[in-house]
Chains A and B, each alone.
Chain A
Amino acid sequence: MNIAALVEPDRVHKTVYTDQQIFDAEMQKIWERTWVYCGHVSQVPHAGDYHAVTIGRQPMIMVRQPDGGVQVLYNRCPHRGVQVVGNLKGNTGSSFVCSYHAWSFHLDGSVRAIPLAKGYEGTRMTRDNPDCGMKRAARVDSYRGFVFASLSDEGPSLPEFLGEARIGFDDMCDRSPVGEVEVVPICHRVIQHSNWKFFMENQLDALHPSVTHQSTGISAGRVEKRLKAQKSAVPLYYHYLSTFASSFEQWDAVQTINFPHGHGLLKAYMGLRPQDPDTLEYEALLKQAHGEQRAEEYLSRSIHHVLIYPYLSVQSPLQQLRCLRPIAPDKTLSEIWHFRLKGAPEAIYRRSLWYYNLVNSPATMINADDLENWTKGQWGLSSNGGDWVSFHRYFGDDREENGVTYSNHGTSEAVMRSQFRAWSQYMQAE
C-alpha cells in the first residue's frame, strides 16, 4: 500500500474513502494506537458502573473502580474469549462474571475466582498467571472528566495528543461556575452510510451550510422574521436553524485554525449572549465564580466547535459532543451526547438542549441533509467517474505558524489538507 501516492498536498485518491485494506490499516495504525475517547466520568458515577465502548475494532469496557478511578478493559474473558458484558451499560456489582463458565474478575480486570480451580493445577492457566485476568487498555487518562484510552504503550501522552485542541473541553467546562460538566444519560446513535472522513471534513467545512442546509435555514428564518416583527424577544433556537442559511460571504469570514494531529477549530460567535434575564443571571454567577476578567474571557470565546481528529466533534459552547465509531469503509456509527453545566441555571441548559434536539437528534432538520450528501459522496467515490478528491480551495493562501495553519478564508479547504497531513503520518508509521 503506497500511502504517499494516495495523498498529495492538494488532493487525495478516492480509495482512501472506499478501500477495505486501507480501512483495516486505519483501525490498526490510528484507532488502535492513538488516544480514543471512551466517555465522560459521569457516565459511570458508582463503583461497578460500566459502559461498553468500541476502540477501532476492539470491544472495550469503561468501568468505575472501587477507589473512584476509571479503568478500561478488553471485553473478553481470558478463558475461552467470550465477551464478558453483553449490553451497552449497567452496573456489574463488585465483579465481572463470565456467562459461559463463571470465571469472575475484579473491577480492575484481575482474576477473582476460577471455578473448580483444581482442574487447572499443573497447567499454565493458574490464577497467579496475569493472563487469567481481563486485559487492560495499555494507557488510560482523562482530561477534565473526559476519559480516553490508548491501546498502545507508545506514542504521545494524552495532553500531548490533545495539544491546543483541549480548548474544546476547557471551553465546555469553564462555562460552568464550578468548572465541571455532567453527562445527560441519553445517547443518540445514528449510522451514516459513508466513510468516517466525510463527517470529519464536513464539521469544519464552512462552504457547505448555506447550500446543504438552505431549506431549513430559509424556513426557520421566515418564522424567525415574522416573530421578530410581532414581538421583541425571539427564542434563540430559531436562530440556531436560520443561521445555517447565512451567506457565502458570512461563512467565508469565519476562520478555521488547524492544529497538529489533524485537530481543528471553527471560530464563530454563536450569539449566546442575549440580554435576557436568564443570561444575565448566568453571567453574574460565572463572574462571581471565576472573577470578572476570566468570566469575560470564557464568555467571549469565539468557538463554533472543536475537532479531535479523527473521531470527535466537540461543540463546547452548547455542551454537545459527537463521537465516531467506524464500522466499515462505507459505514460509521456516531454517538451523540449532551452535557449539563454544573451549577448553571436550568434555563441555560434548556437553551443548549434546543440545539441538541434540533440539530443533533435522530429527527434533525440539519444533519439529515449532511447524511444524504455523504451517502451520495460514498457512491460517487466508488465510481470510475474520476480518481481524485479536490482540496484546492485557497490552496497556498493559508498562514502557518509553529505547525498551526490559520485559514484566511472560512471556506478554505485548509481543514481537509491538514487532516490528511495527519492521516498520512499515522498511516506511514511502522
Chain B
Amino acid sequence: MMTTDTKGAGRAIPSAGPDFEHLLAQEVVIEASQGAASTGAQAIAPDHSPRAPVRSTDAPPLGLLSVAATGADLQREVEQFLYRQAELLDGKHWQAWIDLFDDAGVYWMPVTREQTDWEGSPSIFAEDKLMMEIRKGRVSHPNAWSQAPMWETNHLVSHVALESVDGSTVQVRSRFHMMELRRDHVRHFGGTYRHTLVRDAAGALRIRLQRVDLFNGQAPFDYVLQIWV
C-alpha cells in the first residue's frame, strides 16, 4: 500500500535545485499489505511460478557418540590417525599413505552427496589399492609431465566426530581443508571425510573406506586433481 506524507516538506537536500527539492519533499512509503489483496507479481499471475517450494533437507542423523560412551582414548586414537593420514599426503609419502588402507580398502570421491556406492556411478576418484598403486607409480615417474611444476599441498583436519562403533569397526566423520600450490597459484578444496576404520591383525586402525565429499565437487575444475585429497 502506498501513502504520501508531506510532513517532511521543509527538509532540504543541499544544492539539488528548487524543482528537484519539491519532488523529493513528497516522501513515499511502501508498506507490505496486511492480509489485503495480494500484490505485485502475485496479483498478476498467482501461479506465475508453479514450481515446488524449495524445502530444506533433513538434518543428517547426529549419531555422535559421547566421549563417555566411546572413551577418550578411542577419540584421540582416531584423531591422531586422521592427522597422520593428512600428513602423509602433504609429505608425499605415497606408499605409507596407501599402507594405511586395509587390503579391501577404497578411496572414493563421489560427485554428489547423494551417491551411496563407490561403484556404479560417476566419481571423481574411485580407487582400490591396485589403482592407488597405479596413481602412485604415475606421479612418481620422471615423465609425469603434469607434476613437473612445483606443487605442494597443506591439509587441515578438524570436527572429528565418531558416528558409531561396532566391534572393531569405527565410523568417523570429519572436515578437511586442503590448499594446493601449483606453479604460482593456490587452489582451495574443502569438504567432509567419512572414514570407515577397521583393525588389522596387530590391532592398528586401517581404512576400509575413505569417502571424500568435496563441497565444490560440482563446480568447474580449474585444471584437475592429481593426488588424493
In the complex the two chains form, is B130's CB within 8 Å of A369's CB?
no
B-side contacts of A214, CB under 8 Å: 141, 143
**Which of A68-76, A89-97, A256-264, A386-394 has 4 or more CB atoms under 8 Å from chain B?**
A89-97
In the complex the two chains form, is A191's CB within 8 Å of B222's CB?
yes
Q: Is B223 an interface residue (CB 8 A)?
A: yes
B-side contacts of A127, CB under 8 Å: none
Q: Is B76 an interface residue (CB 8 A)?
A: no
In the complex the two chains form, is A222's CB within 8 Å of B137's CB?
yes
Size class of the contact patch on chain B: 35 or more
* Secondary structure class of chain B's binding surface, majority of residues: loop
Given known pairs A113-B45, A219-B134, the reply for A363 and B122 (CB within 8 Å) is: no
In the complex the two chains form, is B141's CB within 8 Å of A191's CB?
no
In the complex the two chains form, is B122's CB within 8 Å of A368's CB?
no
Inter-chain contact total with CB atoms closer than 8 Å: 137
Closest CB-CB distance, B109 to chain A, in whole Å? Answer: 7
Q: Which residue of A lies closest to B135 (CB)?
A: A365
Q: Is B125 an interface residue (CB 8 A)?
A: yes
A-side contacts of B45, CB under 8 Å: 97, 102, 104, 112-113, 115
B-side contacts of A299, CB under 8 Å: none
**Which of B10-18, B23-31, B47-55, B65-73 has 4 or more CB atoms under 8 Å from chain A?**
B47-55
Q: Is B35 an interface residue (CB 8 A)?
A: no
Closest CB-CB distance, B57 to chain A, in whole Å? Answer: 16
Q: Is A79 an interface residue (CB 8 A)?
A: no
Given known pairs A216-B138, A219-B138, the reply for A350 and B48 (CB within 8 Å) is: no
Q: Is A253 an interface residue (CB 8 A)?
A: no
Q: Is B225 an interface residue (CB 8 A)?
A: yes
Q: Which residue of A lies closest to B217 (CB)?
A: A362
In the complex the two chains form, is A223's CB within 8 Å of B133's CB?
yes
Name B49's contact: one of A93, A350, A368 (CB within 8 Å). A93
**Which of A147-155, A162-170, A353-361, A421-429 has 4 or more CB atoms under 8 Å from chain B?**
A353-361
In the complex the two chains form, is A362's CB within 8 Å of B221's CB?
yes
B-side contacts of A373, CB under 8 Å: 145
B-side contacts of A362, CB under 8 Å: 124, 221, 224-225
Name B41's contact: one of A91, A94, A97 (CB within 8 Å). A97
Q: Which residue of A lies closest to B125 (CB)?
A: A363
Q: Which residue of A lies closest to B214 (CB)?
A: A362
Closest CB-CB distance, B226 to chain A, in whole Å? Answer: 5
Name A215's contact: one of B50, B51, B126, B141 (CB within 8 Å). B141
Closest CB-CB distance, B127 to chain A, in whole Å? Answer: 9
In the complex the two chains form, is A369's CB within 8 Å of B145's CB?
yes
In the complex the two chains form, is A372's CB within 8 Å of B122's CB?
no
In the complex the two chains form, is A102's CB within 8 Å of B221's CB?
no
Q: Which residue of A lies closest to B148 (CB)?
A: A372
B-side contacts of A219, CB under 8 Å: 133-138, 141
**Which of A27-35, A182-190, A275-283, A411-419 has 4 or more CB atoms under 8 Å from chain B?**
A182-190
Closest CB-CB distance, B120 to chain A, in whole Å? Answer: 6
B-side contacts of A353, CB under 8 Å: 120-122
Task: Give A345 to B41 CA distance when docked, in angstroms.
Answer: 50
Closest CB-CB distance, A37 to chain B, in whole Å? Answer: 18
Cβ-closest 9 pairs across A and B: A219-B137, A215-B141, A102-B41, A93-B50, A189-B220, A215-B144, A362-B221, A368-B146, A372-B146
Would you mind naming 28 contact pairs between A and B with Cβ atoms under 8 Å apart? A93-B51, A104-B45, A104-B48, A112-B45, A184-B122, A186-B121, A188-B221, A189-B219, A189-B220, A191-B223, A192-B223, A215-B141, A216-B138, A218-B141, A219-B133, A219-B136, A219-B138, A220-B134, A227-B130, A338-B122, A350-B120, A353-B120, A353-B121, A357-B122, A357-B125, A361-B125, A362-B224, A363-B109
Further 11 A-B residue pairs, CB within 8 A, beyond A112-B45, A189-B219, A215-B145: A92-B51, A102-B40, A115-B44, A189-B220, A191-B220, A215-B139, A215-B143, A219-B141, A350-B120, A362-B124, A372-B149
Interface residues of B (CB under 8 A from A): 40-41, 44-45, 47-51, 109, 111-112, 119-126, 130, 133-139, 141-146, 148-149, 219-226
